[in-house]
Structure 1
Amino acid sequence: MSRPNPSRALRRLGIVTAAAAVAVVLSAAPAAAHVEVAADTPRALAENVTLSFLAQSESSSAGITELRVVLPEGLGPEHVVYESGPEGWEFAPTEDGYTVAGPAVPAGEDAEYAVVVHQLPDAEELAFKTLQTYEDGRIDRWIELAEADGGGHGSAAPVLALEPAAPGAEPVDATEEASPSPEPEPETEPEASAPADDAEETAAEDEDDGGFPAAAWIAVVALVLALAAAGGHLARRRAKA
């Protein structure tokens, strides 16, 4: 009967112990951090869509202070409006996207914010490359379109999958402004028509008098009165003579 080899048993015990230790470490290790994006209407050509972003923290000693986003093709800074974010954070457009930044969130906490997009492009998916900056100067670069390799800080950009556009949906120009309504034309002043009204009234009066102007009638009456007065004066002088 052979005796067990002590050295072989020790080697087996060491292998089992190491494997157990690796399993414990792997089970305790946190999942790789990343940036997530979601939409309330994840459909191509959808309008007034709210995009919600979650930037997970990878630092237990420094808080996130800025998120810089490079917009995908078909979206420009003029298409995006800031909706909400960490207290004190502000939105600023850039040449190829935008930044949301402000006071550092508490160390170890994630940063969440939301924007409203005028209209999503006609695409199957949209990638929002993101640079995540911490208060100690560290930058996580979530810019790769391939999957993260699972080591280090990771690098996959947040991607939003879109459903096909709704029937009849068409691209809308975000910069198109509504045409101003024509200003109403000023009303005609009553005084402007007064001379014409007076002329019409005068013509009507002339027609009532048989076509003989009223001024002529006045002149005739005055002449008759003058002749009558002259005749009376002459008659009185002859009576005295």
Structure 2
Amino acid sequence: MNVSRIALATGVAASSVLLLSGTAFAHVSVQPQGEAAKGGYATVNFKVPNERDNASTVKLEVNIPTEHPLSSVMPQPVPGWKVEVTKSKLAKPLQVHGKQITEAVSKVTWTADGSKIGPGQFQQFPLSLGKLPEDADQLVFKALQTYDNKEVVRWIEEAKEGAAEPESPAPVLKLSAATGDEHGGGAKDASAKDGKNAGHDEDTKSEEASDGSSDTTARILGIVGILVGVAGVAFGVLAGRRRTS
């Protein structure tokens, strides 16, 4: 009896841990499509899961960090959602490609327009960002998630080193080391092209070798066929002579 109670209690505890873990990890997050290098440009996805069983997400507000203003912030259209880009004056103008930038995007808002994020679903909202700062290792984007029951979840808490993850953490974009190509992927593209050309050369050599091998095989088979034909004729002649004798 005691063993059964212990097993039941253990099962309940394990289930509670799993449920709490799922809730803790189901938060708004941001991930780059490829690499987000310092001083470059990147396309990122804000992933928004629906955490409620009885409500749907109908709005997402993402605040662009003002301590590291970005001169270029462009949203990719998402079917069923309308997007609004808000700009603000900069305390200190930016110099980008020889031009002075006096204002930058401070917030991007997606509002449901024929669509929504239902229970058990998630939606991704892509943004093109740049130039990424060269003097920071990460960017923190505070976000607000609104449900159709008017509930607002504020994903604005910043994680502290050595401390446990906050209950409502803000999305964090980790920045990698600068690549030397401010638009990102240049070296990779060149490497990919070289690799592709190398692969093409190898394929060409393989095809040539294959063609040569096929020609040799065809010739051998042709000679064998001729020999077999000659042997057949000779056999027929000998057989005829034997019958005549």
TM-score (norm 1): 0.56
What are the equivalent positions in structure 2 for 1:159-178 lying under 5 Å apart? 159-167=172-180
User: CA 1:121 to 1:143, structure 2 compared with 1: closer, same or farther past 3 Å?
Assistant: same
* Count of residue correspondences: 157
Q: Offset at 1:69?
A: 1.2
The residue number in structure 1 matching 2:159 is: 146
Q: Offset at 1:56?
A: 1.1
Give structure 2 stretches of 5+ with no counterpart: 89-105, 184-245
Q: Offset at 1:90?
A: 1.8
Q: Offset at 1:169?
A: 5.4
Q: Offset at 1:140?
A: 1.2
Question: Of residues 40, 44, 48 in structure 2, which corresponds to 1:46?
Answer: 40
What are the equivalent positions in structure 2 for 1:54-133 lying under 5 Å apart? 54-72=47-65, 73-76=67-70, 79-93=72-86, 95=88, 96-103=106-113, 104-108=115-119, 109-122=121-134, 123-133=136-146
Q: Offset at 1:98?
A: 2.1
User: CA 1:19 to 1:113, structure 2 compared with 1: closer, same or farther past 3 Å?
Assistant: same
Aligned counterparts of 1:168 and 1:18: Cα–Cα separation in 2:
57
Aligned counterparts of 1:102 and 1:16: Cα–Cα separation in 2:
46
Q: Offset at 1:159?
A: 0.7
Q: Which deviations, in whole Å up to 9, do the C-alpha atoms of 1:168-209 show, x marking residues without a partner? A: 859xxxxxxxxxxxxxxxxxxxxxxxxxxxxxxxxxxxxxxx
Aligned counterparts of 1:150 and 1:164: Cα–Cα separation in 2:
25
* Counterpart secondary structure, 2:51: coil
Give structure 1 stretches of 5+ with no counterpart: 1-9, 171-241
Q: Offset at 1:80?
A: 0.8
Aligned counterparts of 1:85 and 1:42: Cα–Cα separation in 2:
22
Select the structure of larger CA radius of gyration.
Answer: 1
Structure having the higher strand fraction is 2
Contact 1:36 1:158 in 2 (8 A): yes
TM-score (norm 2): 0.55
Aligned counterparts of 1:169 and 1:118: Cα–Cα separation in 2:
9
Higher relative contact order (CA 8 A, sep 6+): 2
Aligned counterparts of 1:149 and 1:55: Cα–Cα separation in 2:
22
Q: Offset at 1:118?
A: 3.3
User: CA 1:145 to 1:106, structure 2 compared with 1: closer, same or farther past 3 Å?
Assistant: closer
Aligned counterparts of 2:148 and 2:154: Cα–Cα separation in 1:
15
Contact 1:84 1:115 in 2 (8 A): no
Aligned counterparts of 1:169 and 1:106: Cα–Cα separation in 2:
35
* Counterpart secondary structure, 1:23: helix
Q: Offset at 1:59?
A: 1.2
Q: Offset at 1:12?
A: 5.7
CA RMSD of aligned residues (A): 2.8
* Counterpart secondary structure, 1:18: helix
Question: Of residues 32, 36, 39 in structure 1, which corresponds to 2:29?
Answer: 36
Aligned counterparts of 1:15 and 1:120: Cα–Cα separation in 2:
54
What are the equivalent positions in structure 2 for 1:178-189 lying under 5 Å apart? none
